[in-house]
Amino acid sequence: MTVLDRFLKYVQVETTSNEENPGCPSTPGQKVLGAMLAEEMREMGIADARMDEHGYVYGTIPAKGKGHAPAIGLIAHMDTSDGVQGKTTPQIVKNYDGGPITLKNGVVIDGFDFLSDLKGMDLVVTSGDSVLGADDKAGVAEIMSLCEDMTRDDAPDHGKICIAFTPDEEIGRGADLFDVANFGADFGYTVDGGALGELEYECFNATSCTVAVKGVNIHPGSAKNQMKNASLIAMEFAGMLPAWERPEHTEGYEGFYHLASMKGDEEEAILKYIIRDHDAVKAEARKQTVLRIGEYLNAKYGDGTVRVDLRDSYRNMKEIVEQHPEILEKAKAAFRACGVEPIITPIRGGTDGARLSYMGLPCPNLSTGGYNFHGRKELIPVQAMEKMVAVLKKLIAED
């Protein structure tokens, strides 16, 4: 089965995670995909392939050869973003001409600088009604294709390969129940990045923030000096955050406050933010800012009007990974051996590797080859997925 065949198969399983569900996995489709992957691994001859009760999938390919290579972990996540709801219907644009791509629902992919670099490739896109799911089913497909190659009798010599597929990465829980102690790897790589060649070991310090506002509803006709409109107070909270520190106005190492969702009426309003910064001191200052805004509004409208709840999701993994420069050099060499110049760039987001690095498994992030994750205009070149399989082969090869 080709990496494209695998990818098209996996995206048909709906695995959107759900932050509102405290269970693990947060949605049943993730276990459906997990069971599929475990079975496919067993069919390849990976005897210990299994899915645990929480939906984590593990498997090990024993070392072959002299045994000098380290045990390397390869990790991808099974869930997809809820950025655009709906079932994925992938389309293939063969021999892309470099121009605008009109999807089935009329959405047009155009105006991106990277498109000119993809001319002549075969692109997998959506119908325009949902995300594609290349984040991170492309990573899953690439790792599974590697597994198939490395379990053949004619596979090249390699060290022990430890495989894991995680649930709920998109909602910050992918490493919560990861069995690092029994995973068996000396270090790992998440295959969860974007454009071909990306190698990332710096990520945000990440915090989720829920702002709950309690109001008082009175009939508008007699509301003077009585009504306390929760929705308007929530808007006031949002307006007190700096507009220039939103995702749409930041890049590189610049942090942000991102309003991800809001709902409300006069009685109650809820704002959900994600707060991000690469710098730990600045990240803490951002948390203090939202807490101070809450205190100010409570002083203005009465105690208990605004509640600000913060939950740290992950930390910048640079502090851990830079202690192991050899694993970065190994990844760079694998890319270059396949004719791909590595692109060292900070992640403006996060991966399971950020949490896993602090759990004892240094774990930088590798590209999948995809673009425009979490939206209707998501796409991935078939040739990029094929190249990433080749990169992974070089990565695990015995020196």
Could you tell me whether strands 379-381 and 205-214 are parallel, antiparallel, or unpaired per DSSP bridges? unpaired
Could you tell me whether strands 365-367 and 187-193 are parallel, antiparallel, or unpaired per DSSP bridges? parallel
In order of 107, 148, 254, the CA distances from 37 in angstroms are: 32, 12, 38
DSSP class of residue 294? Answer: H
Give the residue numbers marked as catalytic.
79, 169
The rounded distance, in Å, linking the Cα atoms of 132 and 96 is 18
Q: For residues 334 and 394, is the Cβ–Cβ distance under 8 A?
A: yes
The sign of the CA dihedral 273, 80, 147, 120 is: negative
Greatest extent of the chain over all pairs of C-alpha atoms, in Å: 84
365's CB contacts (< 8 A; 6+ apart) are: 189, 190, 191, 192, 193, 198, 199, 200, 201, 203, 347, 351, 353
The rounded distance, in Å, linking the Cα atoms of 173 and 362 is 18
DSSP class of residue 227? Answer: -
How many Cβ atoms sit within 10 Å of the Cβ of residue 1?
A: 11
Dig out the tokens for 4 from the structure: 């494209």
In angstroms, the first-to-last Cα distance of the chain is 28
Angle, helices 382-396/325-337, rounded to nearest 10 degrees: 130
The rounded distance, in Å, linking the Cα atoms of 114 and 190 is 23
Q: What element of type H or E holds 146? A: helix 134-150
